[in-house]
Amino acid sequence: MNEIFDPLNLLLMGLAVFILFRLRSVLGKRTGNERPPFDPYSKPEQKPGDQVNGGDQDNVIPMPGQTQQQPEQMEQPAAGGEVVIDKVAPEGSALNSALKQILSVDRSFEPEPFLEGARAAYEMIVMAFADGDKKALKNLLSHEVYEGFVAAIEDREKRGETVDSTFIGIDKAEIVEAALKDATAQVTVKIHSQMISATRDKDGEVVDGDPTKVSEVVDIWTFARDTSSRDPNWKLVATESAE
């Protein structure tokens, strides 16, 4: 038993107690208020004032070229819109004035993008009519024009006729008229296109057109949109042939 109290053992025990005491004073002890371990993949903590315009920006992904606009900027017409219109229609002309009226109530209106949309709509409508695709036509036409197209398709079907049509392309599309009636904007486009078209009877005989000939077609179509609506789409409201 006396070996336990050997001077060397007492010295070693004292040294061990001293080392434990120093470690405790340096490392401290857990109190429950320590910060959690740092996670390098975690989202940074949001501090007061980090929110933009008072809203949560976590789900906002800016599109290429998109800039934040202030409310007062949103109320203004598109920058340079009137200058673009002056290039499309001579300044002082009735067409120029009408297009600027439309721009005043629809800041998103631009002649060139509108014409691109009109070109695309023209091809879709012409081909849908040839194919008898009523569903495709419904979202592109006003109610009155849609009813007229459907009646023509059904008459053709009753006769057992079919249309073979190949759309070649559009040579030219230009705005020739415009008007703002109450909140409804109307823009009339003259379209020069090329296509191959032939109507066949129930026996397959050609009764109209030529399946081997490219025809030049000139149409005058009017598109309209309710500028007070959130729907940005234009619909075909009138058609006529320039020939």
Chunked mean pLDDT (size 10), the chain, 243 residues: 56 59 47 40 42 38 33 45 87 96 93 95 97 95 97 96 96 97 96 96 94 96 95 94 75
- pLDDT value at position 81? 72
Number of domains in the chain: 1
Residue 46 lies in a domain: no
CATH number at residue 220: 3.10.450.240
pLDDT value of residue 5: 53
What pLDDT is attached to residue 17? Answer: 56
**Residue 194 is assigned to a structural domain of this protein:** yes
Residue 190 lies in a domain: yes
Is the residue at 39 inside a domain? no
Q: Examine residue 160 and state whether it is found in any structural domain, yes or no.
A: yes
Please give the Cα distance from 25 to 36 (Å, whole number): 21
Does residue 237 lie in a domain region?
Answer: yes
| Helical pair 94-105 and 81-88, crossing angle rounded to 10 deg | 150
Q: Where are the beta strands (DSSP E) in the chain?
A: 162-181, 184-200, 206-209, 215-226, 235-241
| Domain with 175 in it | 80-241
